[in-house]
Amino acid sequence: VRAAADVVHSVDRPRIADALDAAGSLDPLDVLLQVNLTDDAGRGGVVPDDVEALAVHAAGLSSLRVRGVMAVAPLDEEPARAFERLRRSADAVRTVVPEATWISAGMTGDFPEAVAMGATHLRIGSAITGPRPVRG
């Protein structure tokens, strides 16, 4: 992953941060902490209550540079409410890693709400590439 990536958006546990660091190089790797905005433990992402501890851990690794947080809004919730929780997580991360100013959130259907909550990076896919093909 490290050899092919400029930024990893999916660091959600210390083990992943440790593996990325162990594969280190001379250039630091920018990482975003993936936050789980649901109560579903099976969904990827660190729970908001643990995001500060993960930020401290990842920032302490010599070849990683914590840039901020990333999340996808749940389908069964108003995006603005979900992105408000993500903004609070971003604020918490900045208390321990002040340079972690990125918020990656918002896709084609909810990017206005993400921007309103401070998103600095958007994932606008289907508005550019068109709808996904139907599987089957």
Above 90 in pLDDT, residue 124? no
16 touches 50 (CB < 8 A):
no
| CATH assignment at residue 28 | 3.20.20.10
Rg (CA), the chain: 15
As a whole number, mean pLDDT of residues 101-126 equals: 93
Mean pLDDT across the chain: 94
Residue 130 banded pLDDT, cuts 50, 70, 90: confident
32 touches 65 (CB < 8 A):
no
pTM as predicted:
0.91
107 touches 92 (CB < 8 A):
no
Backbone angles phi, psi at 69, to 5 degrees: -130, 160
The pLDDT of residue 32: 99
- Run of H or E residues at 20: helix 14-22
Residue 62 counted as domain residue = yes
Comparing C-alpha atoms, which of 18, 11, 15 is closest to residue 32?
A: 11
Residue 134 counted as domain residue = no
Distance in angstroms (rounded) separating the CA atoms of residues 37 and 32? 15
Domain span including residue 22: 7-125
The pLDDT of residue 24: 80
Above 90 in pLDDT, residue 108? no
Distances in Å between the Cα of 111 and the Cα atoms of 18, 37, 58, 102, 116 are 32, 16, 28, 15, 9
Residue 26 banded pLDDT, cuts 50, 70, 90: confident
Above 90 in pLDDT, residue 134? no
Residue 87 counted as domain residue = yes
Above 90 in pLDDT, residue 33? yes
Residue 2 counted as domain residue = no
Tally of domains within the chain? 1
